[in-house]
Amino acid sequence: MDSQLVGKRILVGITGGIAAYKTIELIRLLRKNKAEVRVVLTPAATEFVTPLTLQAISGNPVAQSLLDPQAELAMGHIELAKWADMIVVAPASADFIARLTVGMADDLLSTVCLASSAPILLAPAMNQQMFSQTITQQNIRALQQRQVQFVGPNVGEQACGDVGAGRMSEPAEIHQKISELLSEAQDLLGVKVAITAGPTREAIDPVRYISNHSSGKMGFAIAEAFAERGATVTLISGPVNLPSPLNVHRIDVISAEQMQEQALMQAVQSHIFVGCAAVADYRVANIAEQKIKKAGDEIQLTLVKNPDIIAEVGHLSVNRPFTVGFAAETENLEQYAKDKLQRKKLDMICANDVSSGQVFNAEENSLRLFWSAGGTTLPLTDKRTLAKQLVNQIMSNYQQYYVEK
């Protein structure tokens, strides 16, 4: 039995979609683990599942009407909104996601979501083309920024015959996500974090650029780890091929100067700044307007130094955040890391040995951490686990930082 669910009050909303039949199994799993379940149907959902079936599975009457004369003061939406420890909408149609994004309250389910302070988990289910539409993706990102959680959708064959992303997650997956969310300590609510990640690209001409091997995986994992604990996270990312972590606001940039502009703007609005990006040290002094044609055996490029973003944040005199830097070294790791810690006026630095070249694009990493009063080592593990360990250490140092101030 999942102890996280015992006695928890889960309101399950069902919208119109063929995946609604799978929600019956989700409710069964919740009830098996001793959760209390109440079900809200949208009008379209009743075309796919019946109230009688859901009442039998949940053990409670099914709610459908916005104005329920049987509810206290005929205000069932307020009653349900106060009752729920968590609201789970499965399936969540494209229409429901759009209406929730703009704050509609034109049926019982959308009104309950608007009236409740409980965490909301959506399990999208729709045609793959609908899911990939720009407006749907914008709606999802907008809800994530408001701390609405998502699970799925999965990729596979759909009822219409299409293949792609849009299948509702399996009941066991949704059940697991509910358990995780209920067990996670949202201890960083109200903490604002800005993170840079990935490489930068410095143009040579319209088709060529200078860059590095950074994949952005570590920075994205750190952003995810902060967001899972309730922090408000802004991720400033160079060009990478990674999906945005849930509940993270992402700003895409290309060059070091673009990253500098966004980083300084976000830093002064944040409590914590983590400079995990591999920013190019130099850029081409004069970018060619046209593609440079091959001529001769050699070509000379004049390079000029890029801004040192983490040092600029570390030296802020007004609204300076707790500042964490990264150092990728091939030799003398401790010496160089401690020098950067002091010279760039950082509160903490995370150093990794990249002499073997195996850190870039790898799924695992290790870190040596240094700060003015000490340091520690985080041993080799997957980057997601490593990020959680790092966030623990950052928060420990951050809290001590404010005690000393």
- Residue 280 carries which DSSP code? -
Q: Can you point out the beta strands (E) in 280-386?
A: 282-284, 303-305, 322-329, 348-353, 364-371, 374-382
> Nearest CA to 349 among 255, 275, 244, 282?
275
The DSSP bridge pattern shows strands 282-284 and 303-305 to be antiparallel
CA distance 380 to 367: 8
Annotated binding-site residue? 276? yes
Annotated binding-site residue? 310? yes
> What is the CB neighbour count within 10 angstroms for residue 115?
16
Annotated binding-site residue? 344? yes
Q: Can you point out the beta strands (E) in 134-243?
A: 149-150, 154-157, 163-167, 192-197, 202-205, 208-210, 232-237
Asked if 312 and 257 count as a contact pair (C-beta separation under 8 A), the reply is no
26 three-class SS: helix
CA distance 333 to 132: 44
Q: Can you point out the beta strands (E) in 259-361?
A: 272-275, 282-284, 303-305, 322-329, 348-353
- Residue 45 carries which DSSP code? G
Annotated binding-site residue? 326? yes
Asked if 251 and 171 count as a contact pair (C-beta separation under 8 A), the reply is no
Annotated binding-site residue? 291? yes
* CA distance readout (Å), 91 to 28, 105, 134, 255: 16, 18, 20, 40
Catalytic residues: 160
Annotated binding-site residue? 294? no
Annotated binding-site residue? 340? yes
Residues annotated in a binding site for CTP: 275-277, 281, 291, 307-310, 326, 340, 344
Residues annotated in a binding site: 275-277, 281, 291, 307-310, 326, 340, 344
